[in-house]
Structure 1
Amino acid sequence: MNVTTKTGLPLPPETTMPVDPGPFDCMPDLLAAARVAPVVRIPYLGKHAWVVCDPELVRIALTHPQMAKDVTWVPDWMRRPGLMVGSQPDPEYARAMIMSDGEDHARIRRMHAPVLSPRNTERWGERVSVKVDGFLDELAQSRSGETAEVNVVTDYTHRIPLAFISEMLGLPLEAERQLRSITDVMLYSSDYPARTKAVRSLYEAVEGWVRNPGPLRDGVITGLLDSSDGPDAAVTEGEVIVWTLGMIITGYETTGSLISASLYEALRRPPEERPRSEEDIKAWVEEALRVHPPFPHPTWRFAMTDIDLGGYLIPKGAPVQVSIAAANRRPGEGADSFEAERQGQGHLTFGLGMHYCIGASLVRLEAQIAVRGFLRRFPEARLSTGTPVEWESEWMIRRMSVLPAVLS
C-alpha cells in the first residue's frame, strides 16, 4: 500500500531484503524485492532506506545532482560503529573517495589516478600473473589423487587479490593473514560488536603502518607518505590512512568475489563450454560482473532535497541504495541467468558518472588473468558432487565462501 505525502507524491511500497549477513545467497531475495515496485522502502535500523530498482531509474539515481555521497549527509542514526566504515572518520580528519563529492572527490580521484594509470595497470598485471602462477603451482602440488578436492575460494581466488593488494600497498609480508581475518569479520559477521572490533583493528593496523613505515616495502603507502611531507604536502597523514583502508576493502574483497563467480560459472559447465580465447575470457568476466556483482547494492547516497523519482517521493535526507543486482538484468531474468554470449552488455557493476570505479580496469585484468590461468592449468576441473557451493551475503555484499572443485 502506497502512502501519499504532503507533496502529493506517494512513498514507495515497503518490502524486505536480508539486511543482516548470513550463510545464504541473497540474490533471489533482492530480485524478488525489486519486482515489487521501481522504488521500494526497506526497514533498516528502526527506520527506512530507499532502494531504486528499475534499470532506468538506477541510471538516473547514479548521476542525480541532488543525490549526495558526501559523508556529512550520513544521518546520526546510521553512524553505528562497525556498520559504515567510510563514515567512521570525522570528515575534517579525512574523506574517503566513495563518500565525497565535488572538489573533494575530484581531488582524491586525482591523487589515486597515477597509481591506476594504464602503464601502471599493465605493470600490476605482470605482478598478478606471477602470483597466479605460484598459487596454481601450490594447487597442483596439493592434489593427492583423482578425488583430491579443494575450496577454490580459500585456496586460490581470494589469495590472489589479497597478495596483490598487499604488495601494491607495500605492506609487510605478515600483513596478509591479518587482513584476511579482519576483513572477513568486518564484512560478513552478524555479530556487530565483533564487527566494531574488526573495524577498529583494521584502522589500528593501517595507522600503525602509516605512522611507523619502517617495515613497509616501497608501494602506494610510501608514495602517498612522500606526498604528505613538508609545507607543500598534497595529502595529510589521516588521508593516507583512510585511503589505504578504502583500497584494501575494494581492491581485495570485490576482486576475489568476481574471480570466484567467474570460475563457478565455468566449473558448473562441461569443459567444451568454457572460455578459451582471450576475447572469450574477457566476455566471460563481463557476464560474471553483470550477473554476480560483488556489491549488489553499492555505497549510500542521500537525498539533498525532496526528489520525485519515477513518481515516488524520496524525501530530503533519506538514505538511498541503488539495486545493481536488479538494474543489470532484463525483465523476467532470475538469479541464475548467466549467458556468456551476452558479454555483460550494459551492466552497471562499476557504477556510472563521476563515481565510476577508478580501479575497474585493474579489477578486470586481475580476474581475466586468474580465470585464464586456472582453466588452462586445470582444463578438466569440475565442481564437487559431494560438497555443496556455499554463499555468504546480505543486501550490500555477496560472495562465495565455498567453491568445491576436483582438479582432475
Structure 2
Amino acid sequence: MNVTTKTGLAQAPETTMPTDPGLFDCMPDLLAAARVAPVVRIPYLGHHAWVVCDPELVRAALTHPQLEKDITLVPDWMRRPGLMVGSQPPPEYARAMIMSDGEHHARIRRLHAPVLSPRNTERWGERVGVKVDGFLDELEQSSSRSRSRPGPGSGSGSGQSAEINVVTDYTHRIPLAFISEMLGLPPEAERQLRGITDVMLYSSDYPARTEAVGALFGAVEGWVRDPAPLRDGVITGLLASSDGPDAAVTEGEVVVWTLGMIITGYETTGSLISASLYEALRRPAAQRPRSDEDIAAWVEETLRVHPPFPHPTWRFATTDIDLGGYLIPKGAPVQVSIAAANRKPGEEADSFTADRRGQGHLSFGLGMHYCIGASLVRLEAQIAVRGFLRRFPHARLSTATAVEWESEWMIRRMSVLPALLT
C-alpha cells in the first residue's frame, strides 16, 4: 500500500538490494526489487537511498535537472572510507567527470574529447587488435601443449585442451593491457592495477578497500609527479597541458581523470567481453554470431542484459522532486536501475535474445552524461569477441567447473568463465 507524504506524493516503499559485494549474481535480486514499485527505497549505511526502476522514469531521472551529480552534494554519512563516492577527492583538488555537472562537466568532457575522437578510436582499435591476437596466440599455444601431454594411463596426448578461465586468461587481460598502453603506464603497472582494482571494487573488507583506493591513488599520483617511467600516452599528453601560466589542467586533475579512465576503461570493458563470450559459449556453435554485423549486435544485446554497472553513479536531489507520483526528497541520494530499465516488464535475469540486438538499452546512460568512451568500449568488445570465436570456433563451456559471478548492486562481473577450447 502506498503511503502518502505531506506533499501529497507517495512515499517510495522500502525493499532490499545486495549493497555489499560478494561471490553471487546480484541481477535476480535487483530485478525482484524493481518489481516492488517504480521507485523504491533501499536501506543503506544506516539511512536510505532511492532507486528509480521504471524504464520511463529512469529516462526522466537520467536527464532531470534537479537530480545532479555534483560531488559537493554527497552527504557526510556517505563519505565512508572504501566507498567509491566516499573516496572522491575534494572539489578544490580536482573534479571527476562522472561526479560533475554544468560548466565543470562540460569543461572536463571537452578536454577528454580529443583523446576519444573517431580518428583516435580507430587507431586505438588497431592496438586492441594486436593485443587480442597476442593473447589468442598464447591460448592456442597453451591448448596445443595440453593436448600433446600424455593422458592418464596413456602414452599419447589426451586430444583435449585443458580447462581455462576465460576471464583471467583472456577477457580482462585485453582492456587492462590496452588501457595501460593508452595511458602510457610502465609495463609492471598491469599486474599492480589488477590486484588493486579487484580489492577496490569487489572486496567486502572495507579497510582493505580503503587501503586499495589509497594504493591506486598513490601509484597514479607518483606517475604524474615523476613521469620519467611513463611512455608517451594520455597521461603525458595531459601533463603537457598542465605546464605554464596558461595551463588547461592541473596535476590534480590529471591524477583524478587517470583514475577514472582506469576504472571505466578496464573493469567494465572486461566485464562486457566476458558476458558476451559467456552468452556465446553456452550456445551451440551454429547459434553464435559470425559476421561483424552480428557480433556488433551481440555485444549490444549483452550490454542490455548484462550492464557492467546495473546501477551507474549517484545523483542527488537538489529539491523535492515528483517522479511518477513518488516523492524524492531534497538531499536524497538516488540511483537509477539500468538493469530494470533495459528489460521489458516480466523479463527475468536470463533473458538474452540475439534477435533483440540490444534495442533500447541505456547501459551507456543518456543525455549529457552519456558515456564519452562508448564507441571505444564497443570496438574493444567486438574485436575481442570476434577474435576468440574465429580462433576457437569449437570452444565450449566446461561442465567440470561452475560459472561464477561477483557483484553488489552497483557493479557486476563474471569471475569464473570455465571453457574448453577444443
TM-score normalised to structure 1 length: 0.99
Shift of 1:88: 2.3
Is 1:207 the equivalent of 2:229?
Answer: no
Preserved contact between residue 293 and residue 324 of structure 1 (Cα < 8 Å): yes
Shift of 1:82: 1.2
- Separation in 2, partners of 1:86, 1:66: 22
Shift of 1:275: 0.3
How does 1:54-203 map onto structure 2 within 5 Å? 54-85=54-85, 87-143=87-143, 144-145=146-147, 146-203=160-217
- Separation in 2, partners of 1:147, 1:180: 27
- Separation in 2, partners of 1:250, 1:28: 24
Is 1:358 the equivalent of 2:372?
Answer: yes
- Separation in 2, partners of 1:380, 1:86: 46
The residue aligned with 2:157 is none
Preserved contact between residue 307 and residue 313 of structure 1 (Cα < 8 Å): yes
Is 1:239 the equivalent of 2:253?
Answer: yes
Q: Deviations over 1:13-35 (max 9, x none)?
A: 00000000000000000000000
Is 1:345 the equivalent of 2:359?
Answer: yes
Letter in 2 for 1:333: E
Shift of 1:203: 0.3
The residue aligned with 1:324 is 338
3-state SS of 1:321 partner: strand
The residue aligned with 1:5 is 5
Query: How many residue pairs get matched?
Result: 408
Letter in 1 for 2:221: E
Q: Cα RMSD (Å) of the superposition?
A: 0.7
The residue aligned with 1:254 is 268
The residue aligned with 2:304 is 290
Preserved contact between residue 55 and residue 326 of structure 1 (Cα < 8 Å): yes
Shift of 1:2: 3.4
3-state SS of 1:91 partner: coil
Preserved contact between residue 182 and residue 201 of structure 1 (Cα < 8 Å): yes
- Separation in 2, partners of 1:65, 1:296: 22
Shift of 1:11: 1.1
The residue aligned with 1:216 is 230
Shift of 1:87: 5.0
- Separation in 1, partners of 2:377, 2:414: 17
Letter in 2 for 1:246: G
Q: Deviations over 1:332-391 (max 9, x none)?
A: 110000011110000000000000000000000000000000000000000001100000
- Separation in 2, partners of 1:123, 1:403: 30
How does 1:270-289 map onto structure 2 within 5 Å? 270-289=284-303
Preserved contact between residue 169 and residue 219 of structure 1 (Cα < 8 Å): yes
- Separation in 1, partners of 2:332, 2:182: 37
- Change in 2 beyond 3 A, CA 1:86/1:111: farther
Q: Percentage identity across aligned positions?
A: 88
Letter in 2 for 1:103: E
- Separation in 2, partners of 1:115, 1:123: 11
Shift of 1:3: 3.1
3-state SS of 1:400 partner: strand
Shift of 1:86: 7.0
Shift of 1:4: 2.4
Preserved contact between residue 71 and residue 87 of structure 1 (Cα < 8 Å): no
The residue aligned with 2:153 is none
Letter in 2 for 1:252: Y
Preserved contact between residue 162 and residue 252 of structure 1 (Cα < 8 Å): yes
Preserved contact between residue 79 and residue 85 of structure 2 (Cα < 8 Å): no
- Separation in 2, partners of 1:150, 1:142: 10
Q: Deviations over 1:121-156 (max 9, x none)?
A: 000000000000000011111111214110000000
- Separation in 1, partners of 2:244, 2:161: 60
Preserved contact between residue 86 and residue 98 of structure 1 (Cα < 8 Å): no
Q: Runs in 1 of length 4+ with deviation above 3 angstroms?
A: none
- Separation in 2, partners of 1:236, 1:165: 21
3-state SS of 2:49 partner: strand
The residue aligned with 2:36 is 36
In terms of mean alpha carbon deviation, does 146-155 or 206-215 score higher?
Answer: 146-155
- Separation in 2, partners of 1:271, 1:213: 47
Q: Deviations over 1:237-257 (max 9, x none)?
A: 000000000000000000000
Shift of 1:81: 1.1
Which has the greater radius of gyration? 2
Shift of 1:6: 1.8
Preserved contact between residue 10 and residue 325 of structure 2 (Cα < 8 Å): yes
- Separation in 2, partners of 1:166, 1:357: 20
Letter in 1 for 2:131: K
Unaligned runs of 5+ in 2: 148-159
- Separation in 2, partners of 1:405, 1:324: 29
3-state SS of 2:276 partner: helix
The residue aligned with 1:368 is 382
Preserved contact between residue 162 and residue 420 of structure 2 (Cα < 8 Å): yes
Q: Deviations over 1:45-70 (max 9, x none)?
A: 00000000000000000000000101
- Separation in 2, partners of 1:311, 1:6: 13
